[in-house]
Structure 1
Amino acid sequence: MAFNNARIDAVPTLCASCEGRKKGICSALDCEQLVELAKASRKSTAESGATLLGETEGIDRYANILSGVVKLTKTLPDGRQQIVGLQFALDFLGRPYCSESPLNAEAATEVVLCSFTREAFERMMQESPALERRLYRQALDELDEARDWMVTLGRKTATEKIASLLLLFARHAEPPEKTGRHFARFELPLSRADMADFLGLTIETVSRQLTRLRNEKIITIENNRLVIVSDLRRLKARAGNS
């Protein structure tokens, strides 16, 4: 379809109700750029446990995470894996200008993605300084978060590690209606085994520390997965955060 250089003011249907349009990387694009990117985009759902990217796998698409949690892992030569990061709704999945994925990406929960071809997105990055800046800011945010986790893993106690991880989940959870600003309610996106892997703890230690936080009435856990935090300030203090 030719637009004859006319200004495009209509947001594509694919993007109209998408949170990524308001808060994600696509917020850096104007309507005409959104129309162009939408031509190379598709929305899809991946079940928990599905591999989204394989380490050393060729990259042909990038994606916005619209909902759910993705865990990033590295594999050692003997097959052992380590969780090295987590991604949440509105994070960008993929490594621009890299022909192969440096990480494994696996859906920790059911994940909804809006993906687009590598060729179209990298072309748009070259044409849009605002998009490059938005990705640059996100990369710096991820770097800051990685440095914070270096402190968590290297210096915090087991209880502080668990509290820090729960605080991370709480901050990324969509707040339910009619709750106060210090309230959070979320499903644990990781198993006890994955939490142990991520934090460098044993599964038994994870379970003990969750029980400890429950006994201190900082959290409530229902059905083994649903976590309720009545006062995030107490959880933050237990995480060793100022």
Structure 2
Amino acid sequence: MSLYTDLKFQQNCANCPIHYRAICAMCEPDELRLLEDIKFYRSFEAGQTVIWAGDRMNFVASVVTGVATLTKTMEDGRTQMVGLMLPSDFVGRPGRDTTPYNVTAVTDLLMCCFRKKEFEAMMVRTPHIAHRLLAMTLDDLDAAREWMLLLGRKTAREKIASLLGIIARRDAELTKAVAARSIAFDLPLTRTAMADYLGLTLETVSRQITALRNDRVIVLQGLRHVIVPDLRRLIAEAGSDDVMEMHS
């Protein structure tokens, strides 16, 4: 059973950790106050489904903390991970009644939600929100095209480095450590999930992570904590600089 529960606390939009890059990033103070009136928070435990593909979605939301996956189930039952939702990413599409993907919490997840009908009405009255949504949608399109390149042309080592680079970059942006050369973060995906997302085998993922560790491109502490001594070197291992812009 999904928690799908309104949290007791209310967080001020102006002090939100994702405010500067979320859907509300371009809003003026008076517009933020309007958003406050239609927002609420929902939390999900790791492994819980936020929404199933094809279900009606009566809200849209920004990921505040945690990570979710987008998956698509084919007619024969096979499931493919098609995207990651990281902090500040936007879930749902105004004007669309249902969602085409399953959205599942990978870690404990906190989402800042907006009632859909009110949000759609506010988009008409508030160009800043409409403009920001358009920009984020175009960024998603660019990221999808880059991901096609990654899956189709990059080596296994480059794929792993690209995924680690995306997660490291987002973590650095949220902690305002973008200019830092060394970055540390907790990897939100299991190696099995990484293999599914990248179209690799589990053995290949483990082998390439070990190789990156042995070459000192990354340092591992435990199973999930990753230290990147030099982010530029990790990006170079990804095969291009494009990963720096993906999911931005």
Q: After superposition, what is the alpha-carbon deviation per residue over 1:188-219, rounded to whole angstroms, capped at 9, x for unaligned?
A: 11111110011000001100000111111111
Partner of 1:228: 227
Partner of 2:188: 189
Q: Alpha-carbon deviation of 1:178?
A: 8.8
Provide the rounded CA distance (Å) in 1 between the counterparts of 2:11 and 2:167: 30
Partner of 1:98: 96
1:47 is aligned to 2:59: no
Q: List gaps (5 residues or longer) in structure 1.
A: 1-11
Of 102, 108, 111, 1:110 maps to: 108
Q: After superposition, what is the alpha-carbon deviation per residue over 1:37-61, rounded to whole angstroms, capped at 9, x for unaligned?
A: 2222112322111111210010101
Q: Alpha-carbon deviation of 1:102?
A: 0.8
Provide the rounded CA distance (Å) in 2 between the counterparts of 1:170 and 1:29: 27
1:208 is aligned to 2:221: no
Q: After superposition, what is the alpha-carbon deviation per residue over 1:206-240, rounded to whole angstroms, capped at 9, x for unaligned?
A: 00000111111111111111111101111111111
Provide the rounded CA distance (Å) in 2 between the counterparts of 1:19 and 1:217: 31
1:237 is aligned to 2:236: yes
Q: Is the 8 A contact 1:20 1:26 kept in 2?
A: no
Q: Residues 132, 190 of structure 1: CA spacing in aligned structure 2 closer, same or farther, 3 A cutoff?
A: same
Q: Is the 8 A contact 2:172 2:178 kept in 1?
A: no
Q: How many residues align?
A: 231
Give the TM-score, by structure 1 length.
0.89
Q: List gaps (5 residues or longer) in structure 2.
A: 1-9, 242-248
Q: Residues 231, 50 of structure 1: CA spacing in aligned structure 2 closer, same or farther, 3 A cutoff?
A: same
Identity %: 43
Partner of 1:3: none
Partner of 2:13: 15
Larger radius of gyration: 1
Q: Alpha-carbon deviation of 1:87?
A: 1.6
Provide the rounded CA distance (Å) in 1 between the counterparts of 2:37 and 2:129: 17
SS of residue matched to 2:12: helix
Q: Which aligned segments of 4 or more residues in structure 1 are displaced greater than 2 angstroms?
A: 19-23, 27-37, 174-180
